[in-house]
Structure 1
Amino acid sequence: MLAKVPKNSEVLVVGSKQSAIDATLLLCREGHRVTMTSPSGELPAVRTRLIPGDRFPIDRGALMQLMSLWDPNDPQLDITRLRLKYLRYLAKEIKRLGDIPVSRQLSNSSSAIRRLEEEINISERNYCKWENSVVGFVDAINDIHIRDFKESIFNVEPEFKRKLMRYIASIAVPNARKVLRLLYNDNLCIKRGEVTAVEISHARVKPWKVTWEDDERRFDAVVCAAGFENHRYSFDEAGALIPDKEVQPQGSVIDFADDLSIRNPRTNEKENIWISGSATHLKIMTSSAVFLAIPQVRLAINELKRRILCSNKDGGVDEKIAV
C-alpha cells in the first residue's frame, strides 16, 4: 500500500473500523494526510484489554431468548420496546462484571473527537468493565449459531447490532491515543457519508475524484479498508476444494461441522480438512479476529488427534489423516 502512494499525499481511507485505523496510522506515519469516511462516521469504542471468554461466561439460554425477539416480518413489532429489552439485557450482563454504573463506562458524545477523548479517559481510569465480556459474548453467539445455523449471525434489530459492534470490534488504548493525536494535529479528519462514485483521471495531482451524497473532493490516493468479500468454498468436479468466485452448481457449496471440519455436500460426511479464521464467516461472527482463530486451530488439532486415535483402534492410521 505505502509503495503505491506518492509522497505527502492527500489520501481517502474508506472505512472507519479496525482495518481503516491500521491503514490510517501507517499512512500518517509516512507523512500523508488522511480523510477517513464511512456511512456512520464512527470510530470503534476504546478498551484496555480482552480476556478469555470462560472468565465471564454468557448465559446461552438468555441470549437465545433475546435473539428470538427480532422478527422483521412481524407487523406488531414495537422497535422502541425491543431496543429497551436489549438495553436491559446488556445492563444486567455488564453489572455482573463490577460495580461501575453502565453510564460511567460509556460516552454519549456525537463528536468523534470528544467521544474518543472520553472513552480513552474511561479506559485509563479502569471504568471500562464491558470489555471483560466481549470475548465471552462473541463465543456465546458463535456457539449458538454454529449449532442452530441461520443466514443472519446474531439475529437482532440492525441498528442496535450496528451500535453494539462498536464495542465488539473495539480498539486498544494505544491506538486510540495515536488516532486522537492525529485528529488534534489535523493530520486526520473523519467524514460521515457513503461514497457514491469514484473516478480516476490522468491528472498528475489528485487524480481521484470521490463523490458523496452532498460533497465532492479530489485525492492523490484512495485506500479501501471497508472489509472484503468472503468466499464460500466448493468442491469442483475433480473433488478439489476451491473458493467459489463464480456461482457453483447447487449442492456443491460446502458446509462445516461444529468441530470446524468440512462436510462434503455430496456425501454429507466430514472430510479430514479443517478451516479457521475468515473461512468460517458463514457461521462465525467476527471470524477474522485472532482471539477466535487460535482456539479454532486448537479445536482442529484436538479433533485430528481424536480421529487418529480412532483410526488406530480400528486397525491402522488413515493415511489421509496422517498426512
Structure 2
Amino acid sequence: MAKPPTVEDVARIAGVSRQTVSNVLNSPHIVRDETRERVQQAIADLAYRPHAAARRLRTRRSSTIGIHLDPYSGGISGVILDRFVHALTERASERGMRVLIYSARTADEEIARLGDLVDGAEIDAVVITGTFFGDPRTGWLLERDVPFVSFGRPWGGDDVYRPAHTWVDVDGAAGTRTATRHMLATQGARIGFFGWPPDNGTGDDRERGWREAMTDAGASGPRFEAVDGLANAREVMSAAFAEPDVLSELDALVCVSDSHAVGAHLAAADAGRRHLPVIGFDNTPVAEALGISSMEQSPELVAAAVLNLLMGTTGQAVAPRDRDAPPEHVLVEPRLILR
C-alpha cells in the first residue's frame, strides 16, 4: 500500500522549503502569488491532505466553523437551509475545515451556546443564519472578536455598513424582477404579487423587485398577502378568487415563496383556473413535482461565497478579522427555473 504524500514531498515537487508549504497551508496571504500557486499545484498533483489533528495542535486552531441549525418547523421551504448546510460542510471539508452544527431556540440561547464553543476553543468562526433587525448575535460576535459571516442581511441595522459585519445573501429583488419581467413578456400586463405581510426584510425585498418591474413596464396588478404556510396561502387566495372578476382579470402571479405559489396554484385549480401561470421562490421539490416555475436560490453558491469571505479564495484557514478592511457583502442572483 502506497504511503500518503507528506509535506516534504510537496516541498520537493514545488521546489520550496517545508516552511513555505506550511505558510501556504496556514497563512497563504504572506506567500508570493507565484510561489503559492506552485505549491498549490504540487498539493493538487500529489492529492496531499494535511493531517488535521497535527495542524490543530500546531496552530492552536480547531479548524472548525460553527453554524446554527434552526429548529424543524415543517413547511415547504426549509429544504433551502438544509442544502446550504450540506454545501457548506462539503466545501469546508475540501479546504481542510470542519463544520460543527449546534442548536438553540432563541438568539439569547444561541449566544450562550456560542460562548461555550468559543471559550472552549471548539470553533474558529461562525456562520449566522436567520438574521433579523436588531440581531444581538452580531454585536456579541463583534465584541468577542470572533470571525463570522451571516447568511442574510441585517435588514436595516446600522451594522450592515460596518466593516466587521460581512454577509452573503440571495438577491430577492433581482429574482422577482426577473420573474415579473418574464410574466409581462409572456402572459400579459396584469401580474399580481402574493407576498408576506409588510416589515419582513426578505419579503419586502422580493416585493420591491415586482414593483420595480411593473413600474418600468407601466403596468399594474393586485397585491395579496398571507403569513407563511401553504394552508394560509391557499385560504387567502381561495377567498380572493371568490371575489368577482379577481381571477378573470389576473394574467399571472409572482409569489414570495414556493409555499405561497403552491397555495395559489391549488386555490386557482379549485376556482376552475388550473393553468393560472404562477412563479414561486425557492425551487423546492414540491414546486418541481407540481410543475410550478420558481426562482432557484443556489445555496451552494452562497456557501462558496461564505467560505471565501471567511478564508479568502485560496486560504486553508479562517483569516483573522481586519477591523480596518472595507465591508464585504455578496449578493447571489437567483435563476428562473421554468416549468
Q: Per the shorter chain, which TM-score range? A: under 0.3
TM-score w.r.t. the length of structure 1 is 0.25
TM-score w.r.t. the length of structure 2 is 0.24
Larger proportion of helix: 2
